[in-house]
Amino acid sequence: MARRMQSPSSINLYKQCPRRYYYQYIEKLPTQPSIHLVRGNIVHSVLEDFFKEPASDDTAIRIRLMKLLHLHWDKKKDILGNLGLTKEELDNFFLDSEQMVLNFSNHFIEQLREEMKKGKTHEEAFRTLTPLAEEEFISEFYQVRGFIDAIEERDGIITICDYKTSKKAVITDAYKLQLAIYSLLYHEKHDKMPHKAGIFFLKDTIKHVDVNEDLLKLAKFEIEQIHASTETDQISDYPKKESGLCKWHSGQCDFYDVCMKR
């Protein structure tokens, strides 16, 4: 059987629960949108659009980000309205998203001022800090693909970065693996490693890991493991891994009902 194209999310999902991987990627059962997924997509769209045109000053940066947040939130209002949340709950998620965007603007303005200290104009500094956004990488050799949120090259240092709306600013094993795979994809395409890979926890700060051979070895090992583990289409080869992620106080896994019946 031909190897399935994988992604950091599919690999981490398999490690979380092989049966859930089976339902989503082999049986392809439908999934339901969640507020966390929808809100994450909104915030990513805001940051992607923000860099399309330089803002004239610090105030304009903040105003533009807020306008983009309102714009993309309104675009998703029908989906948001069908999530089963109360108006108060949706308002709280919007306010939470505002704080993320404001935190991003404060961080960006701080970097902008550092660049302007080097003699650059506001527009020159803005363009220096503008990353390549939402770059897709596909490896036919490794049969893995992924989108990198931001790729920056400044003063000869290449940094790849992923935006997260997580509550805790911790580079977990799952996040480290994601960064390892992105680094491997970048290395394969450009024949050089990025210097750093990081997570911008939008509620907090950016945290980095150094990119080295050990990180790439981790990516290669996990990619080989997932391909070896997903060669079959038999559900019995994808065991359940029951945990608190099956059902929790405010929801449950998309496949909980069908999974518990089998």
| C-alpha–C-alpha distance, residues 74 and 86, integer Å | 16
- From CA 77, how far away is CA 45, in angstroms rounded? 15
Give the position of tokens 């194209």: 5
Task: Tell me the per-residue pLDDT of 193-242, one tens digit each, with 9 for 90 and over.
Answer: 999 999 999 999 999 999 999 999 999 999 999 999 999 999 999 999 98
Q: Per-residue confidence at 1, pLDDT binned at 50, 70, 90?
A: low
SS3 content of the chain, % helix, strand, coil (to 5): 55, 15, 30
- pLDDT band for 249, please (50, 70, 90 cuts): confident
- Which domains are assigned to the chain? 18-130 (no CATH), 132-230 (3.90.320.10)
- The structure tokens listed for 216 are 């790439």
* Cα distance between residue 107 and residue 56, in whole Å: 17
Q: What is the pTM of this model?
A: 0.93
Nearest to 177 by CA among 6, 28, 48: 6
Other Cβ atoms within 10 Å of 101 Cβ, number? 20
Whether residue 156 has pLDDT greater than 70: yes
Q: At residue 227, what is the residue type? A: H
For residue 247, name the pLDDT band (cuts at 50, 70, 90): confident
Is residue 32 within 8 Å of residue 172, measured between CB atoms? no
* Number of helical H runs and strand E runs in the chain: 10, 7
